[in-house]
């Protein structure tokens, strides 16, 4: 599903554009060209070159020009064949290819055949259409702050950073902003549009309209024009504000600014007002962003494994000096492997979310005293759907109850409700439905109270964008407050809301991973997310010169994007090639991120598969002069001991010293994950450090300027840890100490005289290893050393306690699962993979929705416990049992998380499988295909497991360990191999369902 991880939630709306794969467009294709046949430059000039960024971009432009020439040639061939093919776009920077479309599905079928026959065409991909999935996240519980003193005299001081979030202190953004602003850095926002007229972006009158306007480029790929104004959504405007908004000089009530508050922005709209997008629009947006000289791209969106984009692009963009930040996803409540694409691409920055330190809410000041949890107050502490510059509503509004009380049906006491503030409980129906009913009745404002017991407190409301941006203000209060007021109103007490003040409260989950943030690791056990950033309850701009609190990985991603822009601003004159910039940025942010320790047990950190490298530390990433290779460790699975070499280089001008340590993280059980929540276990590996030769254990690391030092980290697992398949992880930590104390500390720990210890401690690649003990460093004064500041460093590690190959792909069956579906010719062939029952069903009943999946061919449903790399069907003669051939499943295997179902896509491009297969005795790319003849056949689905990056050598020795076979318990009987009736002439065969095994 394309989780366009639209992380959207008003006044703490949960957002991340989640996209659901809804249809294959049979009239549109993305075509990839063979660069060796069409271009004067090799693909290596873009994807492998370490030349300077400008040379790589020039090569990419040559590929784009060659793609345009090839597209024109193929368009002429199509015209000669009677096919009216339109070239929608050509690409060279994001891939080498084109996007094309025709008018009808029949023309699409003919065009696909023409394209595949062309020698310059390397691959033909269908255009996938996606529907933005309405955010399914429920509001997160927040500690109510409503035991407030009566009638606060004034709003909180608007100059207090905590009022607007507080996270900038936790992430060290405030320190970074003291020196850098992102000025001169161009950042692309690929989203649902941007209200460039908002004062936060310089009150533009159009794209690049001059003056203070900072929206310097953009294009609307849904309407094919440059008016990217955010007309029907607020997601893109909110995202852009977090990256680079600045309202400190433009508003009385919200003196707020984003992370890189002087960055230039590009607005690329790829979502229509109907909530649809397609992968060709995304490619076109990325292509244009590179041409517009964007150096960072924000993608607060993503598909799940259920509907992959089908194309990778971040590596190619990185070669051209473009960094890509992508939302990890908002499916964290489902546990492991719930990330999306393109966050899963190795060269993207996959961003997880943490909850903001403080949230900004409202204090509804009453003219009547109420008693809440035994305390007297006249304040209802609330969260608000949007924070307006103007008064939220006229003062002195009466508070009333609706009839019916639930608000779920048409309001019958309209006269009493009109112009009033209406108090209603959540539950029974959606808040959106209640709001619509109350607005129709004329309510001036709506206050929801939680239907769950205190301390549950809704930080967000599930209010749909369709309710309108000019809808009355809405609030949420806790259940105790709501019931206290309801009791008085029901008894006939008249209560008036005198005024509304802004109010801050501390989040109970402050600075810890958000419950909705998707988990990793990636399918090959790489670290994912890359790191975490604040996304739970961030204030930012929305259309109409307004502001709102949203939450989701869609908010964490632009926070990280802004951080990358600050980093680029600081390093503008130091960066080498594009690839070097990517590696430098990843190393800087991963190794300086702070492990996020459990709130209730600081001995352990949150798992690396949940939080990645930890909370980003922006100032540290900018100022750190110690590079670490590798920046994180994905260890071999199922081992008792792993030895890894870590290499440190001091690129600064002063010596540094660190105390070596280890912060273990909680382990995560993978057993029964399909049916139950993963269990967090407080068991972990142990770690020690040694010299690179292993001759001596180390406790202190001392590095001279310009020196490179290599040491070993030894990670050991216990029998208890290896007793069950769990993900274990942790952080190798380096705590800075004064260089003159390094020898003393090491001597204390080792019982060795200080000077000799310092001379013997390290293995280095420097030819002057003895320079680490220069007397002036040991004898430097405390005053001088106190001026040396190096940030703490950590190197994350992760692995599986048992062999990854032994982890089953399928969940143990405990409940019924949906039937598999096979679409062939004019009918749907339904077969259960478990009991073999089959039935025929007319396909018309399956395709009434124009956006339903009409991918055709074999579609099986299985409960997966882990991602699958690829799959194929083995075909056997049902009578003799002989293997006659196989069919590859095209494209990545869909994956909906460990609680989802795997549904295989079509076997071949086109509507239906024509019965073709690769014979069992054939091999190689040029192998001939055969077609099923008369007879009865059975199938075995073979699933190829992913190989962990730490297990690749072992996998070469035992490839069969990475295959898992599943019997398809139906039979296919072919009664007519070459039907010639009507539209079945080219379908290949007619299936007859046969039940049983």
Do 122 and 33 share a structural domain?
yes
Mean pLDDT score, 347-353: 96
Residue 353 or residue 428, greater confidence = 353
What whole-number percentage of the chain has pLDDT above 90? Answer: 45
Residue 366 or residue 986, greater confidence = 366
- The C-alpha atoms of residue 721 and residue 728 are separated, in whole angstroms, by 8
Chain-centre distance of CA 602, in angstroms? 27
Lowest mean pLDDT among 54-63, 558-567, 770-779, 968-977: 770-779
Do 449 and 392 share a structural domain?
yes
Do 393 and 310 share a structural domain?
no
191 pLDDT exceeds 70? yes
In 92-236, the DSSP E strands lie at 97-101, 121-132, 186-191, 215-220
**pLDDT computed for residue 250 by the predictor:** 65
Q: Which of 194-203, 783-792, 827-836 has the highest mean pLDDT?
A: 194-203
Q: Is 125 a catalytic residue?
A: no
Lowest mean pLDDT among 5-14, 162-171, 401-410: 5-14
Catalytic residue from among 5, 16, 93, 235: 235
Residue 986 lies in a domain: no
- The C-alpha atoms of residue 166 and residue 146 are separated, in whole angstroms, by 20
Mean pLDDT score, 388-407: 75
Catalytic residue from among 135, 168, 191, 777: 191
Mean pLDDT score, 902-920: 51
Q: Is 191 a catalytic residue?
A: yes
Do 527 and 463 share a structural domain?
no
Q: How far, in Å, are 11, 437, 463, 640 from residue 551 at the CA level?
A: 9, 26, 13, 41
**pLDDT computed for residue 550 by the predictor:** 84
839 pLDDT exceeds 50? no
Residue 363 or residue 270, greater confidence = 270
Q: What CATH number is given to the structural domain containing 857?
A: 2.60.40.10
How many domains, in total, are found in the chain? 5
Q: What is the pLDDT of residues 127-138, one digit of tens each?
A: 877 776 543 332
CA dihedral sign, ordered 904, 909, 914, 918: negative
Q: What is the pLDDT of residues 689-707, one digit of tens each?
A: 999 998 899 999 999 999 9
Residue 817 lies in a domain: no
Residue 323 lies in a domain: yes
785 pLDDT exceeds 70? no
Residue 109 lies in a domain: yes
**pLDDT computed for residue 55 by the predictor:** 82
Mean pLDDT score, 759-778: 34
650 pLDDT exceeds 70? yes
**Do 690 and 764 touch, CB atoms closer than 8 A?**
no
DSSP lists the bridge partners of residue 823 as: 828, 857
556 pLDDT exceeds 70? yes
- The C-alpha atoms of residue 37 and residue 55 are separated, in whole angstroms, by 21
Do 847 and 742 share a structural domain?
no
**pLDDT computed for residue 587 by the predictor:** 96
Residue 764 lies in a domain: no
CA dihedral sign, ordered 128, 129, 135, 136: negative
Query: If pLDDT is split at 50, 70 and 90, which confidence band does 336 have?
Result: confident
Q: What is the pLDDT of residues 505-542, one digit of tens each?
A: 777 788 999 988 999 999 899 999 999 999 988 888 98
Lowest mean pLDDT among 138-147, 164-173, 310-319, 518-527: 138-147
Residue 761 lies in a domain: no
Tell me the two tokens of residue 221.
Answer: 């790929």
Residue 148 or residue 24, greater confidence = 24
718 pLDDT exceeds 60? yes
Do 317 and 371 share a structural domain?
no
**pLDDT computed for residue 779 by the predictor:** 35
Q: What is the pLDDT of residues 921-960, one digit of tens each?
A: 766 544 577 877 777 787 787 888 999 999 998 888 888 8
Query: If pLDDT is split at 50, 70 and 90, which confidence band does 234 have?
Result: confident
Give me the chain's average pLDDT, please: 77
Which among 451, 475, 506 is the end of a domain?
A: 506
Query: If pLDDT is split at 50, 70 and 90, which confidence band does 503 have?
Result: confident
Query: If pLDDT is split at 50, 70 and 90, which confidence band does 6 have?
Result: very low
What whole-number percentage of the chain has pLDDT above 70? Answer: 71
Mean pLDDT score, 329-338: 84
Residue 95 makes CB contacts below 8 A (sequence gap 6+) with 32, 283, 311, 313, 316
**pLDDT computed for residue 938 by the predictor:** 79
Do 109 and 90 share a structural domain?
yes
Phi/psi-derived region of residue 924, left when phi > 0, alpha when psi is between -120 and 50, beta in every other case? left
Query: If pLDDT is split at 50, 70 and 90, which confidence band does 243 have?
Result: very high
Q: What is the pLDDT of residues 617-647, one digit of tens each?
A: 999 999 999 999 999 999 999 999 999 999 9
Q: What is the pLDDT of residues 731-766, one digit of tens each?
A: 999 999 876 666 666 666 655 443 333 333 333 333
Query: Token match 């992508």: residue?
Result: 326
Helix (H, G, I), strand (E, B) or coil at 790: coil
Q: Per-residue DSSP letters for 512-539?
A: SB-TTSPP---TT---SSSEEEEEEEEE
Which of 56, 75, 63, 58 has its CA nearest to residue 32?
A: 63
Residue 41 lies in a domain: yes
Mean pLDDT score, 468-492: 85
Mean pLDDT score, 319-346: 87
Mean pLDDT score, 396-400: 90
Do 488 and 399 share a structural domain?
yes
Q: What CATH number is given to the structural domain containing 473?
A: 3.50.30.30
Q: What is the pLDDT of residues 600-625, one digit of tens each?
A: 899 999 999 999 999 999 999 999 99
Which of 729, 723, 583 has its CA nearest to residue 649?
A: 583
Mean pLDDT score, 226-249: 84
Residue 547 or residue 814, greater confidence = 547
**pLDDT computed for residue 740 by the predictor:** 62
**Do 798 and 521 touch, CB atoms closer than 8 A?**
yes
**pLDDT computed for residue 990 by the predictor:** 34
Residue 543 or residue 134, greater confidence = 543
Helix (H, G, I), strand (E, B) or coil at 570: helix
Q: Which of 497-511, 751-765, 854-868 has the highest mean pLDDT?
A: 497-511
321 pLDDT exceeds 70? yes
Which among 506, 522, 548 is the end of a domain?
A: 506
CA count, 13 A, side-chain hemisphere, 636: 14
**pLDDT computed for residue 914 by the predictor:** 55
162 pLDDT exceeds 50? no
Q: Per-residue DSSP letters for 272-283?
A: -TTSEEEHHHHH
Catalytic residue from among 344, 353, 554, 832: 554
Query: If pLDDT is split at 50, 70 and 90, which confidence band does 708 have?
Result: very high
Residue 96 or residue 847, greater confidence = 96
Do 560 and 432 share a structural domain?
no
Do 842 and 832 share a structural domain?
yes
Residue 614 lies in a domain: no
Q: What is the pLDDT of residues 48-97, one digit of tens each?
A: 555 578 888 888 999 999 999 999 999 999 999 999 999 999 999 999 99
Query: Token match 């003291």: residue?
Result: 178
Q: State the pairing for strand pair 708-716/86-91.
A: unpaired
192 pLDDT exceeds 70? yes
917 pLDDT exceeds 70? yes
Query: If pLDDT is split at 50, 70 and 90, which confidence band does 918 have?
Result: confident
- The C-alpha atoms of residue 285 and residue 267 are separated, in whole angstroms, by 9
Q: Is 886 a catalytic residue?
A: no
412 pLDDT exceeds 50? yes
Query: If pLDDT is split at 50, 70 and 90, which confidence band does 487 have?
Result: very high
Q: What is the pLDDT of residues 969-980, one digit of tens each?
A: 556 666 654 444
**pLDDT computed for residue 93 by the predictor:** 93
3-class SS letters over 305-345: CCCCCCCCCHHHHHHCCCEEEEECCCCHHHCCCCCCECCCC
Q: Provide the residue range defining the domain that includes 118.
A: 17-132
Which among 506, 523, 542 is the end of a domain?
A: 506
- The C-alpha atoms of residue 69 and residue 106 are separated, in whole angstroms, by 26
**pLDDT computed for residue 304 by the predictor:** 56
Do 934 and 876 share a structural domain?
yes
Helix (H) or strand (E) holding 35: helix 35-38
Do 334 and 481 share a structural domain?
no
């Amino acid at each position: 599903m394309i989780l366009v991880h639209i992380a959207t939630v008003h006044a703490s709306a949960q957002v991340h554009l989640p996209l659901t794969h809804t249809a294959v467009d049979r009239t549109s294709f993305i075509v990839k060209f063979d660069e060796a046949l069409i271009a004067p430059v090799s693909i290596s000039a873009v994807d492998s070159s370490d030349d300077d960024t400008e040379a790589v971009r020039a090569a990419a432009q040559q590929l784009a020009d060659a793609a345009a020439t090839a597209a024109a040639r193929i368009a002429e061939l199509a015209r000669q064949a009677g096919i009216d093919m339109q070239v929608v776009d050509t690409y060279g920077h994001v891939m080498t290819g084109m996007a094309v479309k025709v008018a009808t599905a029949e023309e699409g079928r003919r065009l696909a055949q023409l394209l595949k026959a062309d020698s310059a065409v390397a691959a033909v991909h269908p255009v996938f259409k996606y529907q933005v999935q309405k955010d399914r996240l429920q509001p997160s519980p927040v500690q109510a702050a409503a035991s407030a003193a009566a009638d606060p005299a004034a709003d909180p001081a608007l100059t207090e950073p905590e009022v607007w979030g507080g996270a900038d202190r936790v992430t060290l953004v405030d320190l970074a902003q003291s020196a850098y602003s992102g000025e001169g850095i161009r950042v692309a926002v690929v989203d649902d549009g941007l209200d460039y007229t908002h004062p936060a972006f310089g009150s533009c009158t159009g794209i690049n309209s001059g003056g203070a306007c900072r929206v310097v480029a953009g294009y609307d790929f849904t309407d094919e024009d440059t008016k990217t104004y955010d007309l029907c959504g607020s997601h893109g405007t909110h995202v852009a504000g977090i990256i680079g908004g600045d309202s400190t000089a433009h508003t009385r009530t919200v003196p707020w600014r984003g992370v890189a508050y002087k960055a230039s922005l590009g607005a690329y709209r790829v979502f229509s007002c109907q909530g649809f997008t397609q992968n060709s629009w995304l490619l076109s947006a990325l292509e244009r962003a590179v041409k517009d000289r964007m150096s960072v791209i924000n993608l607060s969106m993503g598909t799940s494994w259920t509907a992959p984009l089908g194309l990778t692009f971040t590596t190619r963009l990185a070669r051209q000096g473009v960094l890509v930040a992508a939302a990890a996803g908002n499916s964290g409540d489902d546990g492991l492997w719930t990330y999306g694409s393109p966050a899963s691409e190795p060269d993207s920055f996959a961003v997880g979310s943490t909850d903001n330190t403080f949230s900004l809410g409202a204090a509804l000041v009453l003219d009547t005293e109420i008693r809440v949890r035994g305390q007297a107050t006249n304040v209802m502490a609330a969260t608000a759907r949007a924070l307006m510059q103007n008064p939220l509503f006229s003062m002195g509004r009466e508070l009333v109850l609706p009839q019916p009380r639930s608000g779920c049906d048409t309001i019958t006491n309209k006269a009493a409700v009109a112009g009033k503030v209406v108090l209603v409980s959540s539950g029974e129906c959606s808040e959106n439905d209640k709001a619509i009913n109350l607005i129709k009745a004329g309510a001036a404002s709506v206050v929801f109270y939680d239907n769950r017991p205190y301390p549950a407190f809704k930080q967000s409301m599930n209010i749909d964008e369709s309710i309108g941006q000019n809808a009355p203000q809405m609030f949420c209060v806790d259940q105790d407050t709501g019931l206290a007021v309801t009791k008085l109103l029901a008894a006939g007490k008249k209560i008036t809301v005198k005024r509304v003040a802004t109010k801050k409260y501390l989040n109970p989950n402050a600075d810890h991973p958000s419950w909705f943030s998707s988990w990793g690791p990636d399918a090959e056990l790489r670290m994912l997310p890359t790191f975490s950033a604040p996304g739970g309850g961030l204030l930012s701009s929305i259309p109409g010169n307004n502001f709102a609190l949203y939450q989701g990985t869609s908010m964490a991603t632009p926070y990280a994007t802004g951080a990358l822009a600050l980093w680029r601003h600081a390093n503008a004159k130091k960066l080498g090639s594009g690839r070097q910039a990517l590696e430098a940025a990843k190393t800087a942010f991963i190794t300086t991120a702070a492990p996020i320790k459990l709130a209730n047990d600081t001995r352990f950190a949150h798992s690396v598969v949940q939080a990645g490298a930890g909370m980003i530390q922006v100032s540290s990433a900018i100022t750190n002069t110690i590079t670490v290779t590798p920046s994180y460790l994905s260890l071999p699975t199922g081992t008792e001991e792993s030895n890894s070499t870590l290499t440190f280089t001091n690129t600064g001008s002063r010596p540094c010293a660190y105390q070596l340590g280890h912060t273990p993280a909680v382990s995560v059980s993978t057993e029964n994950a399909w049916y139950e929540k993963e269990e967090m276990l407080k068991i972990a590996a142990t770690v020690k450090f040694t010299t690179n030769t292993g001759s001596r254990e180390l406790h202190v690391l001392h590095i001279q300027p310009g020196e490179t030092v290599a040491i070993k980290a030894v990670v050991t697992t216990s029998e208890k840890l290896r007793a069950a398949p769990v993900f274990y992880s942790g952080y190798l930590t380096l705590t800075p100490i004064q260089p003159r104390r390094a020898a003393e500390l090491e001597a204390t720990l080792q019982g060795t005289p200080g000077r000799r210890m310092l001379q013997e401690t390290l293995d280095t690649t420097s030819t002057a290893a003895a320079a680490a003990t220069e007397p002036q460093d040991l004898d430097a004064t405390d005053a001088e050393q106190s001026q040396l500041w190096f940030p703490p460093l950590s190197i994350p590690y992760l692995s599986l306690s048992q062999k990854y190959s032994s982890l089953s792909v399928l969940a143990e069956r405990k409940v019924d699962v949906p039937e598999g579906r096979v679409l062939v010719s004019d009918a749907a062939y339904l077969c259960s993979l478990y009991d073999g029952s089959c039935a025929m069903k007319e396909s018309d009943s399956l395709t009434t929705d124009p956006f339903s999946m009409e991918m055709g061919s074999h579609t099986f449903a299985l409960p997966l416990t882990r991602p699958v790399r690829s799959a194929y069907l083995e075909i056997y003669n049902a009578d003799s049992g002989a293997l006659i051939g196989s069919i590859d499943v095209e494209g990545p295997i869909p994956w909906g998380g460990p609680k989802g179902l795997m549904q295989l896509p079509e076997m071949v491009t086109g509507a239906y499988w024509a019965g073709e297969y690769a014979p069992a005795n054939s091999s190689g790319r040029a192998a001939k295909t055969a077609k099923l003849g008369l007879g009865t056949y059975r199938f075995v689905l073979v699933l190829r497991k992913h190989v962990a990056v730490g297990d690749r050598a072992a996998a070469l020795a035992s490839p069969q360990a990475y295959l898992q076979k599943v019997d398809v318990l139906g039979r296919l009987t072919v009664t007519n191999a070459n039907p010639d009736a009507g539209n079945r002439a080219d379908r290949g065969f007619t299936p007859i369902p046969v039940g049983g095994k």
